[in-house]
Amino acid sequence: MKTMLLAGAATALVTPALAQDGGISDDTIKIGMNLDMSGPYSAIDGEGSVVAAQMAIDEMGGEIDGKKIELLTADHQNKADIGSNIARQWADQDKVDLVVGGANSGVGIALQEVTSEKGIAYINNGGASAALTNENCAPETGIHWTYDTDALANGTAVAMVKEGNDSWYFITADYAFGHKLEENAMDAVKANGGTVIGNVRAPFPTQDFSSFLLQAQGSGAKVIGLANAGTDTQNSVKQAQEFGIVQGGQALASLLLFITDVDALGLDAAQGLTLTTGFYWDQDEKAREWSAKFEEKHGGKPSMVHAGMYSSVLNYLKAVKETGTDDAKTVVAKLKEMPIEDAFARNGRVREDGLMVHDMFLAQVKKPEESEGKWDYYNIVSTIPGDDAFRSLEDGTCEAIKNN
């Protein structure tokens, strides 16, 4: 594995050796991992994603038909320009065949644009914005794998409104991901008979949420919807506890919560939170078996981004093996024909617009007295079939699909 830490633009512009005529270009399958290695999303992504991808490569034997599989990693620092420059260098100089990562929607949208332009495959893991398969779609080369803002909103927001929590105030991360999650959650609340009293945008990342929480508390809304993630979610939940918001009768809805967040917060602070997730290590035997192997290597249970990373790399490599080429359009087309069923995905399939539709889970964080130990954090409330969780293809706005 090679690690790159780049802050500037690539300098050379060399046409990558593509494989339109079949075969493996340059006799190597190169995967570039463009990750948050040091910022607010590093716990859900970062080194754990590298471990997960390497597990997929190891499962394929480290090569396909005698062609070695090489992994490169880089830190996009949650900046779209840095992520784009890395991807351009990988395409122009390093002849990368697949870019994965982008656990920041702004970075992910930028990566999808660059990889589409360069004609290399891209699989987003961790970037939530549904724009990746709608207004910013690139269906011939780009796939959105683990979850999106539609699925998160359709799970948590709909469930809470149906329980009578019908007035909402949103605290939203002020960038592409937060905006889209807020938009989708507002739509879900209103479509199910609820009302949105107001919202406030918080800079990304934010340490002190006190002013935003006080505005939300003063709104009188039954629910404060947190359209943020990572350390922003952890900080807002902790500070909401300190302000006595939940004790005062308002509910918190964390629209994107990871098991690593719950581990960092502790069950005393996180108990009772409703969430939507694409993966839980204890969901079934297949997940438990893979998660135990991951924990041996990484020292903790996987987030759904880690599990999604494993799944996406494994299935990409299977598609390369099936087609005998690393040509991006050929491999992505093959992925759209394959059922996706592994340690991560249940009833998965890659749709025409590049969205990997699969079952999601509505869960609730356990009370401390319910937990049997570390990582025993969720009660799975229900399974949400993929077709119910994600926006339908007919309701999507991907022009490349509409025009075909």
pLDDT at 3: 47
List all residues 6 or more positions away from 289 whose beta carbon is below 8 Å from its beta carbon.
Answer: 343
Kind and range of the H or E run holding 318: helix 304-323
Q: Six-digit token pair at 26?
A: 């340059």
pLDDT at 19: 55
d(CA 235, CA 133): 30
Packing angle of the helix pair 304-323, 285-298 (nearest 10 deg): 100
- Do the bridges between strand 167-173 and strand 195-202 make them parallel or antiparallel, or are there none, so unpaired? parallel
d(CA 228, CA 40): 11
pLDDT of 15 strictly over 50: no
H helices present in 77-230, as ranges = 80-89, 105-118, 149-152, 158-162, 176-191, 210-219
pLDDT of 117 strictly over 60: yes
Q: What is the mean pLDDT of residues 205-226?
A: 96
Kind and range of the H or E run holding 69: strand 67-75
d(CA 198, CA 223): 11
Q: What is the mean pLDDT of residues 78-95?
A: 97
d(CA 215, CA 198): 9
pLDDT at 270: 95
- Per-residue confidence at 14, pLDDT binned at 50, 70, 90? very low
pLDDT of 339 strictly over 90: yes
